[in-house]
Amino acid sequence: MTAQAFSTLSLKPELLSNLESLGYSEMTPIQAKSLPLILSGKDAIAQAETGSGKTAVFALGVLEKLDSSLRDTQALVLCPTRELADQVATEIRKLARGIGNIKVLTLCGGVPFKPQASSLEHGAHIIVGTPGRIQDHIKRQTLNLSNVNTLVLDEADRMLDMGFKQAIADINKELPGTKQTLLFSATYSGQVKSLAKKMMCEPKVIKVESIHDSTSIEQHFFELSNDKQKLDALRRILLQHQPESAVVFCNTKREAQDVTDQLVADGFSALDLTGDLEQRDRDQTLIQFSNQSISVLVATDVAARGLDITNLDAVINYDLAHDPESHVHRIGRTGRAGSQGKAFTFFTPQEGHKIALLEDYLKQGIKPEPLPNASVLNNKAKPAPMKTLQIGGGKKQKLRAGDILGALTSEGGIAGNQVGKINIGDNWSYVAIQSDVLNVAMQKLSNGKLKGKTFRLRLLKNI
């Protein structure tokens, strides 16, 4: 398909000029197929992966018909997790810069309710949130959705997997029947089809081929005689390839926790990501993984939703995915942004039927390989290159990334290239520091001041 320019779309001039300033010139396949249809006002179902440019599709659709002179909420975007909601809200704000005075508000669980209710009193053009918290606001009458003209269901399959079917249906009852509904999903399961049938009006289904192929992801399959061999196989893969960042997929929370405990006992820098985690712990786990303070993240499919790591070296399917589409979605997290990724998949003879389905879906044969030689078990696990410090101050204390970087690199401090990612939250900040200069960095932040104040400092445990 020949690449198409955004300038061919009938978008507001402010949106087009902002897209140009952001360096967005040519559309991705999902954008080229979906945007003309969405801009015409039709309901649409788009099957697309994370990283395909889908957020810009619905963001531009919403912004094109938004009337900034009205204080009413005109668009509602539902997401499965707080992380994804934050990413979506950030992208919408970026694309809305040219219009100005657009208020985008995130409403998610895991944070206090009252400040959200106070913000809603001042109005918001676009609400991005998780179904549970949106429901809470509707019940407490702090959110009025009577003027919404666009509903977006982002990663609908995972919202259904997480048990939000009834919540979505209840929210939909509060919206005008004339609205446009846009549904985005990595997989197009029976549940998704059923939801679309109940909520949408003659939707057009748009599907694009995977944006990842054999040139960006190197796939390896290993047939094991039974499940008990998996842990040994995982150790061999990790010790042979020594990835700086790897996601290991398990099918149950219990297994993810057990695998993490075993890896930590073996000296690997690992944390688990499951649905049982408190929001704060989940946030800290994802921050440590994205800034290279932990090397291995052991996750379930649902818990990993919203995970968007640009440079992920490897995906390891400790358990085979439930279906071929989920397999492709899992491995699609590696090999992004022009980099080469690796995907390793374990299976047993009892799962031969799943492998046959996967062969059909991938349109290629699957030939099992021998595991790395047992001698690699003598290698030592490579430590994570960074450590993460938590600072007890954030946006509300007017802290900025530049303040933290300046304090660390001032006289007697560390070099700028020894500082990794800096994340600023409302009342906290996180900064990644190269492990070998951690003590100097801690001394600088403990003895010095930020914005004329001393903030509490602690090291996050990475194993």
Tens digits of residue pLDDT in 85-139: 988 999 999 999 988 789 999 999 888 999 999 999 999 999 999 999 999 999 9
Q: Are residues 157 and 84 in the same domain?
A: yes
Contacts of 420 by beta carbon, 8 Å cutoff, 6+ apart: 291, 292, 386, 431, 432, 433, 434
- Give the number of domains in the chain: 3
Over the stretch 214-232, which tens digit does the pLDDT of each residue have? Answer: 567 899 999 999 999 999 9
pLDDT at 214: 52
| Range name among 36-40, 47-51, 169-173 with the lowest pLDDT average | 47-51
d(Cα 27, Cα 135) in Å, to the nearest integer?
Answer: 35
pLDDT in tens, 148-188: 999 999 989 888 888 899 999 999 999 998 999 999 988 77
Q: What is the pTM of this model?
A: 0.70
Same domain for 394 and 363: no
Q: Do the domain assignments include residue 416?
A: yes
CATH, residue 88: 3.40.50.300
Q: Are residues 448 and 324 in the same domain?
A: no
Residue 273, in any domain of the structure = yes
Tokens in use for 444?
A: 């600088």
Q: 210 pLDDT band (50/70/90 cuts)?
A: low
Do residues 149 and 17 share a domain? yes
* Boundary (domain end) residue, out of 180, 207, 234: 207
Query: What 3-state class would DSSP assign to 155?
Result: coil
> In the predicted model, is pLDDT for residue 267 greater than 80?
yes
Q: Do both 171 and 34 map to the same domain?
A: yes
37 in a structural domain = yes
Number of other residues whose CB lies within 10 A of the CB of residue 196: 20
pLDDT of residue 280: 83
Predicted confidence at residue 110, as pLDDT, reads 81
Same domain flag for 260 and 116: no
In a domain? residue 245: yes
Q: Are residues 12 and 87 in the same domain?
A: yes
Closest CA to 460 of 290, 228, 213: 290
Domain membership of residue 350 (yes or no) is yes
Asked whether residue 1 is domain-assigned, the answer is no
pLDDT band at 248 (very low <50, low <70, confident <90, very high): very high
Q: What is the DSSP letter of 332?
A: T
| Residue 429's CATH number | 3.30.70.330
Angle at 72 between CA 135 and CA 79, to 5 degrees: 40
Do 236 and 144 have their domain in common? no
Distance CA 436, CA 456 (A): 22
Give the residue from 152, 186, 207 where a domain finishes. Answer: 207
Domain co-membership, 13 together with 53: yes
Residue 438 belongs to what domain range? 386-459
pLDDT at 338 over 60: no
Same domain, 119 and 167: yes
Q: How far from each other are the two terminal CA atoms of the chain, in whole angstroms? A: 46
Structure tokens given for 260: 């993490």
Instruction: Specify the 3-state DSSP secondary structure of 212.
Output: coil
Choosing from 207, 240, 267, the residue where a domain stops is 207
Q: What are phi and psi of 392, to 5 degrees?
A: -80, 45
CA 147 from centroid of its chain's CA atoms: 29
168 and 226 both lie in a single domain: no
Identify how many contiguous H helices and E strands the chain contains and give both numbers.
16, 17
